[in-house]
């Protein structure tokens, strides 16, 4: 058996590793038989030397099998999930999952928490009083059988090697590697027990991958590895320069998702929602055309079925479903501040990263994994690029619980929104669908 240093040296020297060598590395992460310095050295060697598609597939498979893989064979309906690489104001999972479940497709969704400037689905859900994201895999399966929908957090036995490696990558400047990202995302998603997967790969100022070319490369790698592992997958490449929708912050985003389920969602959010939902329904083959998929998704909202599914999920996970009809039951911040336009004109920019950093300053996110979040704070009523505004009209509302944070966030939000005389088009969000038409 090769020692860790021999396997590390082979990658350092640019060789492709065998399935056994990759297996030894991933096992070493999961069972602690490789020291942190050996794991970190290997991660850095991978960042520099890369991995072939074959190595990436072996890596993803080993990561997935480092823990349990949920067995959902007892559920006969098709099972689809969606995953976003993370954005600002990205609340789409909250309303898309019940829309898809209302169309007869089971949605087993295991999500993450927000870290840095991007939000996390679990934090948003936990702003609903009582909502429990910590279900066991047995309870997760039972809920999927009962209501066709569960949104939970990663259990300790799911892809444990990723938990270890992701924590090391975070502090050793080894996050930015396509094979490592691929293995990390797919090991968790493919362990959920899904049949098909749709990915929202974001690029732009508010995304963790700023560069569109790199994001496309990531999307292609994700689609080809997951497809090779027997899970039909597509990736939608979407722009993330402006926040999605008009709210950023946990409870505020839950409120906006409920608006989406009532048919009152902002156009940009619904554009991305329908595009992802169409791909989920097409991949599971419950429809054969995009038009049919779109009609089913629209009907899930118009009939109220998707909103009912959302209520059912809240009740099943111990939450207070009255928030759906009474938004006042969601956490509310103590201090409100309206940022007003100093002149009339057109909104030419709303910087997603700037808004996200303002929300982070207010306490909506966490700088370190152990930080607590304040579910009530954030920004609502944000204007959108291309809108005409009058002098004195509201550009966004800050929700805060701390005077100091509020005063800093005011300046940060003001710098993030630009108004000028130039009439600007609302940006196009959907860049490309990777894997579409691949058969
Ligand atoms: N999200 C993940 O889960 N893993 C990565 O490596 C990057 C983003």
CATH number assigned to the domain comprising residue 391: 3.90.1170.30
pLDDT at 150 over 60: yes
Tell which atom from ligand 1 comes closest to the C-alpha of 208: 8
CA–centroid distance, 169 to ligand 1, in Å, is 10
| 58 within some domain | no
For 217-368, strand residue ranges (E) read 233-239, 335-340, 345-350
Is 90 exceeded by the pLDDT of residue 366?
A: no
243 and 204 within one domain: yes
Closest-CA residue, ligand 1 atom 3, reads 185
Q: CB 281: neighbour CB atoms within 10 A?
A: 27
Same domain, 96 and 231: yes
What is the average pLDDT score of the chain? 96
Instruction: Please say whether the beta carbons of 376 and 399 come within 8 A.
Output: yes
Rounded distance from Cα 229 to ligand 1 centre (Å): 19
Measured from the CA of 184, which atom of ligand 1 is nearest? Answer: 4
Considering only CA atoms, which of 207, 229, 169, 203 is closest in space to residue 87? Answer: 207
Q: Are residues 126 and 224 in the same domain?
A: yes
pLDDT at 370: 79
Q: What is the pLDDT of residue 379?
A: 98
Res 249: pLDDT: 97
Query: Could you give the CA distance from residue 244 to residue 231 in angstroms, rounded to a whole number?
Result: 28
Among protein residues, the one with the nearest Cα to ligand 1's atom 2 is: 185
On whether both 204 and 274 belong to a single domain, the answer is yes
In a domain, residue 425? The reply is: no
Residues 93 and 201 placed together within one structural domain of the fold: yes
Q: Are 312 and 236 in contact (CB under 8 A)?
A: no
Confidence band for 118, pLDDT divided at 50, 70 and 90: confident
Position 119 confidence tier, pLDDT thresholds 50, 70, 90: confident
Instruction: Kindly tell me if the per-residue pLDDT of 435 is higher than 90.
Output: yes
Q: What domain count does the chain have?
A: 3
Q: How far is the CA of 184 from the centre of ligand 1 (A)?
A: 5
DSSP helix/strand/coil, 433:
strand
**Nearest-5° Cα angle at 354, 348 to 359:** 125
Among protein residues, the one whose CA lies closest to atom 7 of ligand 1? 181
What phi and psi, each to the nearest 5 degrees, are found at residue 255?
-60, -40
Q: Which of 260, 286, 324, 331 is nearest to 92 (CA)?
A: 260
The answer to the question of residue 90 being in a domain is: yes
**How many DSSP H helices and E strands does the chain contain?**
16, 12
Quick one: pLDDT at residue 114?
77
Handedness of CA 286, 256, 209, 61 (dihedral sign): negative
Q: Do the beta carbons of residue 57 and residue 229 sit within 8 Å?
A: yes
- Dist. CA 182–CA 162, nearest whole Å: 11
- Range in 167-171, 285-289, 344-348, 390-394 the model is least confident about: 167-171
pLDDT for residue 29 is more than 80: yes
Q: Is 148 left (phi over 0), alpha (psi -120 to 50) or beta?
A: left
How many residues are present in the chain? 439
Q: Is residue 299 part of a domain?
A: yes
Q: How confident is the model over 295-319, as a mean pLDDT?
A: 98
CA–CA dist 290, 282 (Å, integer) = 7
What average pLDDT does the segment 238-259 reach? 98
pLDDT at residue 40, rounded to an integer: 97
Residue 215 in domain: yes
Mean pLDDT of 89-105: 98
Question: Could you say which of 303, 325, 347 is where a domain stops?
Answer: 325
257 and 336: one domain? no
My answer on whether 360 and 279 are in the same domain is: no
- Mean pLDDT, range 359-366, rounded to an integer: 94
Does residue 13 lie within any of the structural domains? yes
Residue 269's CATH number: 3.40.1030.10
pLDDT tens column, 36-79: 999 999 999 999 999 999 999 999 999 999 999 999 999 999 99
Angle at 115 between CA 356 and CA 134, to 5 degrees: 125
**pLDDT greater than 60 at residue 265:** yes
CATH code for the domain in which residue 22 is found: 1.20.970.10
pLDDT tens, 223-242?
A: 999 999 999 999 999 999 99
Counting ligand 1 atoms within 8 A of each CB, the residue from 86, 118, 184 with the most, and so the one to mutate, is 184
**185 CA to middle of ligand 1, Å?**
5
* Alpha helix ranges (H) inside 120-177: 121-125, 137-147, 160-171
pLDDT at 76: 95
> Ligand 1 pocket: which of 164, 175, 187 to mutate (most atoms <8 Å of CB)?
175
Atom of ligand 1 nearest to the CA of 175: 6
The confidence band for 438, taking pLDDT boundaries of 50, 70 and 90, is low
Ligand 1 cavity residues, CB under 6 Å: 85, 166, 175, 180-181, 184-185
Across the range 397-419, mean pLDDT stands at 98
Whole-number Å distance, alpha carbon 181 to ligand 1 midpoint, is 5
Within a domain: residue 258? yes
Identify the residue whose C-alpha is closest to ligand 1 atom 6: 181
Residue of 85, 122, 165 with the most ligand 1 atoms within 8 Å of its CB, for mutation: 85
In this structure, the answer to whether residues 261 and 119 fall within a common structural domain is yes
Share of the chain above pLDDT 90, in %: 92
Pocket test for ligand 1, best of 120, 122, 182, 185 (most atoms within 8 A of CB): 185
The boundaries of the domain holding residue 41 are 4-50
Give distance in angstroms: CA of 86 to centre of ligand 1. Answer: 9
Distance 101 CA to ligand 1 centre (A): 26
- Whether residues 369 and 234 share a domain: the answer is no
A 10 A CB-CB count for 205 gives 17
* pTM, two decimal places: 0.95
User: Rounded to an integer, what distance in angstroms lies between the CA atom of residue 144 and that of residue 155?
Assistant: 16
Task: Give the pLDDT band (50/70/90) at residue 369.
Answer: confident
Averaged over 294-320, what is the pLDDT?
98
Query: How many CB atoms neighbour CB 438 within 10 A?
Result: 11
Q: How far is CA 216 from CA 174, 352, 367, in A?
A: 19, 20, 27
Q: What does residue 395 show for φ and ψ, rounded to 5 degrees?
A: -95, -20
190-228 residue pLDDT tens: 999 999 999 999 999 999 899 999 999 999 999 999 999
Residues 120 and 166 in one domain: yes
Task: Report whether pLDDT(387) > 90.
Answer: yes
Phi, psi of 187 (to 5 degrees): -60, -40
pLDDT at 179 > cutoff 70: yes
Whether 288 shows a pLDDT value over 80: the answer reads: yes
CA neighbours closer than 13 Å in the CB half-sphere of residue 368: 3
| Residues catalogued as catalytic | 83, 162, 169, 184, 188
């Amino acid at each position: 058996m090769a020692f860790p240093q021999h396997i590390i040296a082979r990658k350092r020297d640019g060789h492709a590793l065998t399935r056994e060598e990759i297996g030894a590395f991933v096992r070493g992460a999961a069972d602690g038989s490789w020291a942190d310095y050996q794991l970190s050295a290997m991660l850095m060697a991978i960042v520099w030397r890369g991995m072939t598609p074959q190595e990436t597939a072996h890596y993803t498979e080993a990561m997935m099998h480092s823990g349990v893989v949920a067995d959902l064979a007892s559920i006969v309906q098709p099972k689809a999930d969606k995953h976003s690489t993370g954005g600002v104001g990205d609340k789409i999972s909250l309303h898309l999952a019940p829309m898809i479940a209302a169309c007869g497709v089971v949605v087993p969704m295991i999500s993450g928490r927000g870290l840095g400037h991007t939000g996390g689905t679990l934090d948003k859900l936990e702003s609903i009083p009582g909502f429990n994201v910590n279900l066991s895999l047995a309870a997760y399966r039972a809920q999927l059988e009962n209501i066709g929908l569960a949104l939970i957090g990663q259990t300790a036995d799911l892809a444990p090697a990723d938990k270890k490696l992701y924590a090391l990558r975070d502090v050793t400047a080894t996050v930015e590697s396509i094979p490592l990202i691929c293995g990390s995302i797919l090991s968790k998603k493919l362990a959920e027990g899904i049949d098909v997967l749709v990915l929202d790969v974001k690029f732009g100022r508010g995304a963790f991958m700023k560069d569109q070319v790199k994001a496309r490369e990531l999307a292609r790698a994700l689609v080809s590895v997951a497809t090779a592992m027997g899970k039909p997958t597509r990736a939608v490449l979407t722009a993330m320069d402006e926040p999605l929708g008009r709210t950023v912050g946990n409870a505020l985003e839950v409120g906006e998702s409920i608006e989406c389920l009532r048919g009152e969602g902002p156009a940009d959010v619904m554009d991305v929602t329908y595009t992802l939902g169409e791909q989920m329904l097409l991949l599971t083959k419950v429809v054969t055309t995009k038009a049919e998929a779109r009609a089913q998704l629209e009907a899930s909202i118009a009939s109220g079925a998707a909103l009912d599914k959302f209520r059912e999920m809240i009740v099943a996970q111990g939450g207070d479903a009255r928030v759906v009809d009474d938004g006042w039951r969601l956490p509310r911040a103590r201090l409100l501040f309206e940022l007003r336009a100093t002149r009339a004109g057109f909104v030419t920019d709303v910087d997603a990263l700037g808004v996200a950093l303002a929300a982070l300053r207010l306490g909506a996110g966490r700088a370190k994994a152990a930080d607590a979040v304040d579910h009530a704070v954030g920004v609502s009523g944000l204007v959108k690029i291309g809108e005409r505004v009058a002098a004195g009209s509201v550009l966004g509302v800050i929700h805060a619980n701390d005077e100091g944070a509020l005063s800093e966030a005011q300046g940060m939000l003001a710098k993030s929104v630009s108004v000028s005389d130039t009439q600007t088009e609302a940006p196009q969000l959907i860049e490309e669908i990777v894997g579409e038409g691949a058969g």
